[in-house]
Amino acid sequence: MPEMPTTPEHRRRAAPASHRWCRLLVAAGLIAPFSGAVIGTANADPDALWTIVHDRCVPDQQQYGDPAPCAWVNLSSGKQHGYAVLKDTAGTTQYLLVPTSRITGIESPAILAPDATNYLAAAWRARYFVEERAGRSLPRDWVSLAINSEVGRSQNQLHIHIDCIRADVHEELTQHAAEIRADWAPFPVPLADHRYSAIAVNGDDLDAVNPFTLLADGIAGARTDMGLETLVVVGAIGADGRPGFIVLASHADAAAGDAATGEELQDHTSCPPPPATSPLTPS
C-alpha cells in the first residue's frame, strides 16, 4: 500500500498528470468547474461523496494509478480499509478524507470495531494538502479535523473535514489551554456559541490513539448514541514543548437548536497567520 505523500514535492512526483475524470465530472455536474476535485451537489444528493469516491476515484486509481478526481487514494490492504482525500467545494483549503468502504458516518459500528482503520490518524497526515493550498507550512495548532453528527451532516458517507481552525476558537483554546487535562471535562466557555467537552492527548500523530474510541469510552452514553456526537481534533503543543492534540466533543441538542456540527469550529474562508503569542499548551 503506498504511503500518503507528506510534502508538496513528494506529491508532485507521485501524482500522475491525468485529469480525465475531472472533465467528466464537471460535465455531469458532480464537481464545480473551477476546482480540482470537489463535491458540488452535496446538498441535493446525500450520496454524492460516495459516488465520486467509489465510482470514480477508486477505479481510476486501480486502472490508471491516477486518483483523479481525488487528490489521493489509499487502497484497502489486509484488514485495513482504504480512504480517499479530495478537495471540497467549500473554502480555499478544505479537504475531505472519505473511507473507500461504505461507512455512513460517526454512528457506524465499523469505526469502533477492534480492527477499525484509524481514519482520523490518516486525516491528520493529509493536512499537507491543506498546507499546499494555503501556500505555506501551518503550525499544528492552526490545523483541525472535524466530523459532524448524523443529524448535522448532508452526506451519508463518513467524511472528515480537514482545514484550519477559526481564529476566535484558536484564541479561546489558547487562553484556556492550561485547563484542558488528560480526562474529559467541559470546556470552560462556549465555542461558536455551543458547549463542548475537551481532553488533551499527547503525540506527534494519532497513530497510537483513535479519537472515535476515546469519545465512545470516555463520555457517558456516547458509545450507545454516537450518531448524536460531533468530534473535533486540533493540533497542540504541550507546556513541555512536546506535540499533542486537543480533542473536542459535543452532543446534539434539539431543544437548544444544536445539531452538533463540529465543522462550525473550522474556517473555510482562509487560514489565518499564526499569532505572535504562544501556541496551544494543554497540561
- pLDDT digit string (tens) for 132-153? 999 999 999 999 999 999 999 9
**Domain locations in the chain?**
8-132, 138-267
Residue tagged 487528490 (cell numbers): 71
Helix (H, G, I), strand (E, B) or coil at 230: strand
Which of 4, 275, 279 lies closest to 127, judged by CA?
A: 4
CB–CB of 227/156 below 8 Å? no
- State the Cα–Cα distance between residues 134 and 271, nearest whole angstrom: 7
Strands (E), 183-225: 185-186, 197-202
- State the Cα–Cα distance between residues 92 and 269, nearest whole angstrom: 6
Is omega for the bond preceding 69 within 30 degrees of 0, making it cis? yes
Domains 8-132 and 138-267 agree in fold: yes
DSSP for residue 15:
S
Could you say which residues of the chain have pLDDT below 50? 1-2, 8-42, 278
Return the pLDDT at 256: 87
CATH 3.30.428.30 fits 138-267, yes or no: yes
**Torsion angle, CA of 172/173/179/185, rounded to 10 degrees?**
100
CATH 3.30.428.30 fits 8-132, yes or no: yes
Q: What is the pLDDT of residues 34-83, one digit of tens each?
A: 233 444 444 569 999 999 999 999 999 999 999 999 999 999 776 678 99
113 backbone dihedrals φ, ψ, rounded to 5°: -65, 150
